[in-house]
Structure 1
Amino acid sequence: MTTRIAFGPLASFTQWVTDTYPEFSMPGHRVSLFRRQVWDPSVGQWFEKEMMLPVAGGNPLLLVPNEWVRSGLLMSAKRFYKTKVLVFVQQTKAAYLPDRKLHIPTKKELRAYPNLHGTHKTNIRVTLQALDAGDDLVSNFQDHVNKKWNMRHSSKAA
């Protein structure tokens, strides 16, 4: 669904690249006219649009701008587990020892607990526990990811 919504901008980008770089019109390469549905966010509806796109294996090829991709997902269950779930559990398991030193279990120690393996069930269970305690791990994670994304793009602009 996301690709279908972004199809129009991706097709426009692809057309710009094929117009800008002659490699796409060299022998052995083919560009053809396609008619596809694209989403118009300004009016909130789908419409048909004709576009010239490169062909690969008989199918239209969409190119994706380098800035739109990265080697890993910004938001994944594994990353959520490592950055929010385990930190929440660390806070709940923190305790003062008899010598009055605060002991916070390491993430490595927590991963050894039988009920804290990095599974979707663990993420859901701990997220619900955190919500009951007034801590919205999902919103915190989204904020965390947005900050990382904004830092990445502001450093490129500098």
Structure 2
Amino acid sequence: ERLSQETLAIYRELKDEECEAIILNDLGGVTQKQGQYDRAEFYYKQALVIEEKRGGKAMQVAYLGNLGNLALERDHPTEARLWYERGLALAQEVGRQDLVAHAQSGLARVLEKEGHYTEALPLALAALKIQERLRNKGLDFSRQLVERLRRKAGME
């Protein structure tokens, strides 16, 4: 974390906003893993603001996804839904199928947490289909999500 803070200071001095946002996102991940959720949210939001200003839509989707994941981890599904919905719309706009799948998977997890298994399943299946086509590294997670939703929806 200390090295990331030092790197962040350098990028700010150089006025390299793209790298600054990446480091802020990394710091969000570190602090989230440490259970420092407020700090993680602060870092992710700072990264998002920079990318919104820069117009970096693909990176915005990634940061929105991280905010959605954080909200789910904090058991705030309503907040998570908003982040994932924003991310899905932006991912569809930029045409990045990997990011579309991630947002769909996130929304499916929100619906699962809310007990809406039959609504969650089509989103999870759509995400799985994209990830299979792309041979994405999140494939196992998506398969497990689909199977879990099928069981919970009584569709096995």
The interval holding the TM-score normalised by the smaller chain is under 0.3
**Structure 2-normalised TM-score?**
0.24
- Considering fraction of residues, name the structure with more helix: 2
- Considering fraction of residues, name the structure with more strand: 1
